[in-house]
């Protein structure tokens, strides 16, 4: 199964980083505008079993994505899985580690299976990896900007 991993060093303490990522609305602040993400439904703050629904558009295709939090360890990590959306499988682990300088290391690990059907002909493993690299590079820039401004 394909795997994407990336690491960011955040200038905010672990509790602040975990709090930021536990709020689904913040996903909109760190996602590239061309994804056209909207939070359709979800809690203000995630907990175990929380579901949240996003809607986005990429390559002219509107997608509705429903994710559920299946692991919740505050201050350490959480895992969400896609129940509805473009991928056959999507499991995203967000892991947080306190750094000696007071910042946080954020490790994202995404296990996925590409879509089937016509979409799967376009979204090959290689194409998904490139897209994830692009999306997470944008996210990294946004996180730096937001946390430098005291978000």
Statement: residue 21 has pLDDT above 90: yes
Phi then psi for 85, rounded to 5 degrees?
Answer: 155, -170
Name all domains of the chain by residue range, CATH numbers in brackets: 3-148 (3.30.530.20)
- With 0.85 as the threshold, say if the pTM is over it: yes
Tokens of 34: 């061309």
What is the rounded average pLDDT of the residues 83-111? 96
Q: What tens digit of pLDDT does each residue of 46-86 get?
A: 999 999 999 998 767 788 999 999 999 999 999 999 999 88
Cβ–Cβ < 8 Å for 64, 85: yes
């Amino acid at each position: 199964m394909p795997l994407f991993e990336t690491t960011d060093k955040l200038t905010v303490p672990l509790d602040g980083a975990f709090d930021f990522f536990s709020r689904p609305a913040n996903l909109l602040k760190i996602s590239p505008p061309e994804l056209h993400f909207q939070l359709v439904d979800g809690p203000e703050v995630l907990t175990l079993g929380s579901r949240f629904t996003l809607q986005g558009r990429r390559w002219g295709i509107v997608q509705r994505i429903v994710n559920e939090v299946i692991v919740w360890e505050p201050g350490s990590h959480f895992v969400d899985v896609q129940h509805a959306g473009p991928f056959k499988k999507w499991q995203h682990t967000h892991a947080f580690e306190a750094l000696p300088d007071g910042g946080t290391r954020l490790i994202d690990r995404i296990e996925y299976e590409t879509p089937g059907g016509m979409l799967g002909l376009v979204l090959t493993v290689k194409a998904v990896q490139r897209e994830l690299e692009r999306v997470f590079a944008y996210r990294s820039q946004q996180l730096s900007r937001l946390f430098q401004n005291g978000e």
